[in-house]
């Protein structure tokens, strides 16, 4: 099922979860109730439906390998409760300046040699300055010249900044909604939900593809997870890439002691994302290492077809490349890069 109605205006500012969900339901396409009904299906039925959807839209069954490099780490003024890069939290992350162009290009070359086809650059800014955009634009041009797809996540963007990135050749811009609108203030107070929607709108207007997802396991309810996925699915169009992160609690952050989400609930979240956004690349992102091989395998069966690949994911650990290759090979999965030749070995 795909959105058939353009959402022309944001939801009004309301505090009632019930009223907020009613307003979203009234917009058409995927209602929160419909998405909740998917979550409530017997797991075998949900997985079967997700597999049908996946095979219909990705008949080659390939897995996209993306590498994420933190080009500017730490020192962020935001208060995102999950993030060790926030300057206000006492974590092991130290603030560093923006990397030099040559360093970034060396990392991109290494990522390509390891099999990645998309190279993502992340900077811990609330919003970049125009002079920052100029430097990142040079990185984008250099990475594109290597034959890689490019993605960046730099915080909030003004329309002129989005246009400058597009002119540099940026393929994707990542800006996550993180969670549902009614749970959002439980996690973040320094940036509003509408700010995130505005940046996504600016990216679309500039002609770039959108990478947008969020984090589950932050204490939200299933209904709030359903509302989060409904919001993503009802964007017009929905994102081309949908990263789903499993919270990695980090000492020193407000969510350090958050109880882990049940692994099967995470699998359900992947399956529902696949069904509601059938043509998107649904990406397993942060938290894969904690999930383990068996749960990751279930996520691939549920329709995940993209992973962040490599040893480091911004400031959290990620399964090493060789372990990823072994798991994909055992599952008989192909990479996007190798799909025209042979099964990954």
Task: Tell me the catalytic residues.
Answer: 76, 80, 83, 120, 151, 211, 283
Contact 265, 221 (CB under 8 A): no
Instruction: Enumerate residues 6+ apart whose C-beta is below 8 A from 266.
Output: 216, 217, 244, 246, 291, 295, 299
- φ, ψ for residue 275, nearest 5 deg: -70, -40
The strand pair at 306-308 and 312-313 is best described as unpaired
The candidate with the shortest Cα–Cα distance to 128, out of 83, 82, 165, is: 165
In DSSP terms, 80 is beta-bridged to: none
Assign residue 252 a region (left: φ > 0; alpha: ψ between -120 and 50; beta: otherwise): left
Locate 327 and state its tokens.
């798991």
| Percent helix, strand and coil across the chain, each to the nearest 5 | 40, 15, 45
How far apart CA 40 and CA 302 sit, in angstroms, is 15
Contact 314, 68 (CB under 8 A): yes
DSSP character at residue 120: E
Instruction: Enumerate residues 6+ apart whose C-beta is below 8 A from 44.
Output: none
């Amino acid at each position: 099922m795909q959105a058939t109605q353009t959402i022309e205006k944001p939801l009004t500012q309301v505090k009632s979860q019930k009223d907020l969900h009613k307003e979203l339901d009234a917009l058409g396409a995927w209602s929160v109730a419909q998405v909740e009904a998917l979550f409530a299906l017997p797991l075998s039925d949900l997985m079967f439906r997700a597999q049908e959807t996946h095979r219909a839209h990705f008949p080659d069954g390939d897995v996209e390998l993306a590498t994420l490099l933190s080009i500017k780490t730490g020192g962020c003024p935001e208060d995102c409760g999950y993030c060790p890069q926030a300057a206000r939290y006492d974590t092991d992350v130290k603030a560093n300046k923006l990397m030099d162009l040559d360093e970034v290009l060396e990392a991109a070359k290494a990522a390509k040699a390891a099999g990645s086809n998309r190279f993502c650059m992340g900077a811990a800014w609330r919003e970049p300055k125009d002079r920052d955009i100029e430097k990142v634009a040079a990185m984008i041009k250099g990475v594109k010249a290597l034959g890689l797809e490019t993605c960046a996540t730099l915080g909030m963007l003004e329309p002129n900044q989005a246009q400058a990135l597009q002119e540099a050749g940026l393929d994707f811009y990542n800006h996550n909604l993180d969670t549902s609108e009614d749970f959002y203030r439980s996690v973040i107070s320094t940036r509003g939900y509408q700010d995130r929607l505005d940046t996504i709108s600016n990216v679309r207007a500039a002609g770039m593809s959108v990478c947008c997802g969020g984090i589950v396991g932050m204490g939200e309810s299933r209904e709030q997870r359903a509302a989060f996925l409904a919001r993503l699915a009802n964007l017009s169009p929905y994102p081309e890439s949908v990263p789903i992160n499993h919270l990695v609690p980090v000492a020193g952050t407000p969510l350090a002691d958050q109880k882990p989400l049940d692994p099967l609930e995470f699998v359900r979240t992947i399956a529902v994302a696949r069904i509601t956004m059938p043509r998107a690349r649904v990406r397993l992102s942060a938290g894969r290492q904690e999930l383990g091989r068996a749960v990751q395998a279930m996520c691939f069966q549920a329709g995940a077809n993209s992973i962040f690949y490599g040893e480091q994911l911004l400031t959290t650990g990620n399964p090493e490349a060789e372990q990823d290759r072994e798991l994909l090979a055992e599952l008989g999965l192909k990479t996007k890069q190798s799909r025209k030749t042979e099964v990954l070995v």
